[in-house]
Chains A and B, each alone.
Chain A
Amino acid sequence: MTKLTKILALVLALVLALSLAACGAGGGNEPAPAPDDGSAPEQAAENTGTPLAEGEDIVVGGIFNVTGFQSPIDAPAQQAFALAIKQINENGGINGHMLKYVTYDGQTDQTVCANNATQLINTDGAIVIGGLSDSDYAYAAGAVAQAAGIPIVFSGATTPDIPEVNGNCSFMTAFGDNVCAEAAASYAYEELGARTAYVMIDNAMSYTTNLAQYFIDKFEELGGEIVLTDYSTTGDLDYSAQVQRYLANGEADIMFMSTGPDDASTVIQQFRQAGATAPMMSGDGWDSDLWGVAGDLANQDVYVATHYATSDDSPIVQNFIADYTEEYGYPPENAFAALGYDCMMVIAKAIEMCGDDITPANIRDNLEHIQGLECVTGTISYTPDNHVPAKTVVITQAVDGALSFLKNQA
């Protein structure tokens, strides 16, 4: 019996520590204040290096969480990023140099992402890095790149303070969460006529906590009222407490569900099955498979504020969809694929602007001067003071297994 007690005590201590750690994971990252006039990146290491010799390959690094709970958004991004590189090489490379692509799996683990960056820079000789669809991993990898003076462009990370925190080597392909959440709040208030809102926040991720806070701030600023704020944690299976509390409190005009991509379908299923009928809304994290678990329930009044919609008929969008489908045999899974593609397009543009003088420092400098670059997810411009592109947010609605375009919301 004493042996058993000892074992029990050990096992339980471990479990308790783990469950507390999981709950507390989001606590450290307070929502960042939305920068009004763009962030002012810190000046840091200049990596002037030696320019590439004629005909030498340009090593482009990629870090994507193709396994773990980030994989539904990172795996498509990686595929599109690789597709872009392939197309560039097929067209003769950039300024006479071919691209050499080296990519590692971040495994949805911040430490692994940081190690990947180190490996890409020190071992593989990457002079520019792309990837990552979530801010928590972008902070980890970005810090390493910053220290080495290697420019890094994040494909899908959306926390607007990333360049401010990481430094002047970090750039974002996506709009900031503030822009996304504010667009969602405006659409809910103006187009859906919502005056009361329920907000559920996955507080194990800084993305979801920030997104929710921006939504709340904007919705209240417009004159709406938040009737109830509830919390969940990444990977939750049982939302009955949240559902029942919501129903007991009385339905709101809109439910803003700030959870990650993996939990989206489960959240829809449980709220709808229990009888919650108000429109549901979320940010780009919900640009994922909403139908897997929820099935038809996902087609009932679910709105997603995201980066682009496949039903947009502009040539650049339709070409991307066609190319991706041809390469992989199925259409892009979500907007993060488009962002992965755009991420590489931004990098390519900056390399091209370097002319014959391709160094990490020059790529970084040129990134800051990209103006009006037409991309799949909108027009991208950077300035030395702002590494977060100001793009319009696309409001979509879940209809018959796809996100259908509703409105470009500024």
Chain B
Amino acid sequence: MTLTYFLTMLISGLRLGSVYALIAVGYAMVYGILRLINFAHGDIMTLGVYFMIALMISLGLPFWATMIISVILSIAVGLIMERCAYRPLRSAAEETVLISSLAVSTILQNLMTMIWTAQRMPVKLPAWLSVANRIGPFTIKTISFVTFGVTAAALIILTIIIRKTRIGVAMRACSENRKAAMLMGININRVIMFTFAVGSALAALAGFMMSGDYGTVYPTLGFTPSLKAFCAAVIGGIGSLGGSVLGAFIIGIAEMLFAGLVPTNLTNYRDAFVFAAMIVILLFRPNGIFGKQEGGRS
């Protein structure tokens, strides 16, 4: 094994980590405010991709326009999901809402199968995105750079929103203490809707990056990556945005290094490795690597 090979796997891991980060942030935000693990999050990601190719095929719009419209449509689906499946259960037990989110996930997957069939559909991005660039000893596709860039930009914008804007302040208040936030006059429904909107938009972006890279989409596309992103959020100390981003990169890189460095006949166990690693981490740090370790007083 050469250094070049190792670094190549590391770059692949960063690319994977970027996609996981975009998804994980959505999980973490929703969990932070609602204490809800929204399992339908990954399906929003898949749906965003379907919206994009449907718009491309039926309307023939330019690439950037389809992206914007499909992000908006994904946000709409996220909001409908919150309004219909989660808001009525706001005061129900955590398990109940969790099951509701599994139901939403199944419904969305079945809807996608009904509309677009279970077959893989090709996702055709503009050709310049698939160009392989030789940089020194490495070959890196343009879409990988785009993935890094989009993730970085999205996370920076999100940080600014959370730090500087009123709604961001309200989000922080809600995630720390929902009851106190309500007593400050914060409209909690608006905060929750905003959270779902941002999460859905990021998920759709993650979907574009992933499907654009692999060139394909199918109804269960979002399942495995979103499960790994969820692990990232947990490893990062669920609810902590910075933690979930770090967790996402740790998982992405660990997964690629595992796949690349183990003997070939173990490569297929990369998913199992990710989940097993998460369990091990949680055994030693029950609140995640970056989560507060002293039980908490909530």
Contacts and interface: CB of A to CB of B under 8 A. Distances in A.
B91 interface: no
B279 A12 contact: yes
A284 interface: no
Given A23-B272, A293-B122, A12 B216 contact: no
Given A248-B1, A274-B132, A231 B256 contact: no
Contacts of B234: 8
Interface string A217-244: 0000000000011111100011011101
A270 B272 CA distance: 23
**Interface size class for chain A?**
35 or more
A68 B118 contact: yes
A241 B12 contact: yes
B118 A295 contact: no
Interface string A144-177: 0000000000000000000000000000000000
A185 to B, nearest CB: 20
A244 B12 contact: yes
A1 B296 contact: yes
B264 interface: yes
B256 A240 contact: yes
A228 B215 CA distance: 26
Interface in B70-99: 94-95, 98
B120 interface: yes
Closest 8 CB pairs of A and B: A241-B259, A293-B215, A248-B5, A19-B271, A292-B122, A240-B12, A230-B264, A233-B268
Contacts of A380: none
A238 B9 CA distance: 12
A71 interface: yes
B286 A242 contact: no
Contact of B139 (A12, A204, A275): A275
B49 to A, nearest CB: 12
Contacts of A67: 118
Q: Which of B124, B238, B260, B272 has the most CB of A within 10 A?
A: B272
Interface string B92-136: 001100100000000000000000001111111000001010000
Nearest to A15: B275
A211 interface: no
Contacts of A16: 272, 275-276, 279
A269 B94 CA distance: 43
B216 A292 contact: yes
A346 interface: no
B141 interface: yes
A228 B98 contact: no
A231 B268 contact: yes
Contacts of A275: 132, 139
Interface of A: 1, 3-5, 7-8, 11-12, 15-16, 19-20, 22-23, 67-68, 71-72, 203-204, 228-233, 237-238, 240-242, 244-245, 248, 262, 265-266, 269-270, 273-275, 292-295
B16 interface: yes
A372 to B, nearest CB: 38
Given A20-B272, A232-B267, A245 B94 contact: no
B58 interface: no
Nearest to A108: B118
A409 to B, nearest CB: 29
Contact of A3 (B2, B95, B130, B286): B95
Nearest to A240: B12
7 contacts: A16-B276, A20-B272, A230-B264, A241-B259, A248-B2, A275-B132, A292-B121
B63 interface: no
Q: Which of B120, B221, B269 has the most CB of A within 10 A?
A: B120
A241 B268 CA distance: 10
Contact of A293 (B120, B259, B275, B278): B120
A328 to B, nearest CB: 16
Interface string B257-298: 001100011011111100110110010001100000001100
Nearest to A23: B268
Nearest to B4: A248
A262 B120 contact: yes
B286 A12 contact: no
B67 interface: no
Given A7-B94, A230-B264, A245-B264, A238 B37 contact: no
B250 interface: no
A292 B117 CA distance: 15
Nearest to B225: A237
A68 B259 CA distance: 27
B145 interface: no
B118 A71 contact: yes
A231 B267 contact: yes
Nearest to B139: A275
Given A23-B269, A270-B214, 16 more contacts: A1-B296, A8-B234, A11-B37, A16-B275, A16-B276, A22-B271, A67-B118, A203-B265, A230-B267, A238-B16, A241-B260, A245-B260, A269-B215, A292-B121, A292-B216, A293-B123
